Amino acid sequence: MSITNEISLALQKGKRAQVQELVKKALEEGVSAKAILNEGLIAGMSEVGEKFKNNEVYVPEVLIAARAMNAGTAIIKPYLAAEGVEPVGKAVVCTVRGDLHDIGKNLVKMMFEGVGIECIDLGVDVEADKIIEAVKESGAKVIGLSSLLTTTMVYHAEVIKALEAAGMRDQVKVMIGGAPVTQEFADEIGADAYTSDAASAADVALSFFKN
Ligand code: B1M
């Protein structure tokens, strides 16, 4: 088995220390940081994402795998920069105004990073203005919004209206999600995409960067 496969498997099992060891070993053996990222870490996280979508694994396993992914990514980051590997693109992610739930948002961020999207994470309870500012500063092409309360889901629409008012609606794709959110609601407020889970959100975000 190749060392990148070993990394992928260790990540899927959430074995952080083993991922770190294998990543270091791979670098010593001359495997490129890009191959470690794509064939090891991202491949492993994609598997976890698929299993999560199919209810074969659950939130704790995803969080543990993501922790292993972060540990591996931290080691190769300087090498990636040296190899000139660019992220697929940038996305702003947050939970909307008035809402403090962040587990789903964090999963979305992890899945985005798992497919190579750089995330600007604004945290929870985020006002539309702050999102607009972050998009302007970073040049992000995707905004990923999350809400868990029926009382805060209306703020997804507020972000879209603020983008329109700032003349920026065409520059970014707005993706929304969270337990109370539906495709019907997304259509109603003019969001570009809704997905019911974080792994599918990453697939859709990736398609926005590729098209
Ligand atoms: Co809150 N809470 N909570 N809570 N909480 C719920 C959501 C609730 C359903 C519980 C209940 O009453 N049965 C209820 C909402 C009812 C409603 O609005 N209809 C509720 C309430 C009422 C409240 C408070 C108002 C309680 C109070 O103070 N009286 C309060 C609100 C505070 C606030 O936000 N202003 C509150 C507080 C909290 C805690 C702080 C205690 C804690 C949050 C901790 C944290 O997030 N760090 C908490 C929790 C943990 C929950 C429950 C138990 C779990 C939510 C969760 O994390 N689920 C929840 C009840 C439940 O769901 N059983 C509940 C797991 C997470 C992975 O799911 O975020 O949906 P989710 O993400 C999913 C998908 O939705 C999707 O991907 C994930 C799966 O892959 N997804 C996206 C999410 N974002 C996406 C974005 C996308 C695409 C997909 O594109 C960008």
* Domain CATH code at residue 123: 3.40.50.280
- 69 and 96 assigned to the same domain: no
- C-beta of residue 205 within 8 angstroms of C-beta of residue 112: yes
- 100 and 196 assigned to the same domain: yes
Task: Write out the residue range of the structural domain in which residue 9 sits.
Answer: 3-83
Region label for 163, one of left (φ > 0), alpha (ψ between -120 and 50) or beta (otherwise): alpha
> Which atom, in ligand 1's list, is nearest to the CA of 95?
84
> Which atom, in ligand 1's list, is nearest to the CA of 151?
18
**How many independent structural domains does the chain possess?**
2
Q: Tens digit of pLDDT per residue, the chain (211 long)? A: 999 999 999 999 999 999 999 999 999 999 999 899 889 998 999 899 899 989 999 999 999 998 999 899 889 988 887 787 788 999 999 999 999 999 889 889 988 988 889 999 999 999 999 999 999 999 999 999 999 999 999 999 999 999 999 999 999 999 999 999 999 999 999 999 999 999 899 999 999 998 7
Best residue for ligand 1 mutational test, from 48, 97, 101 (most atoms within 8 Å of Cβ): 101
Which residue minimizes the CA distance to atom 18 of ligand 1? Answer: 149
Q: Tell me the whole-structure pTM to 2 decimals.
A: 0.88
Distance between CA atoms of residues 9 and 99, nearest Å: 36
- C-beta of residue 89 within 8 angstroms of C-beta of residue 139: no
Distance between CA atoms of residues 128 and 86, nearest Å: 28
**CA distances from residue 196 to 64, 147, 151, 177, 202 in whole angstroms, order as listed:** 21, 12, 19, 6, 11
- 95 and 122 assigned to the same domain: yes
Domain boundary among 52, 83, 114: 83
Region label for 146, one of left (φ > 0), alpha (ψ between -120 and 50) or beta (otherwise): beta
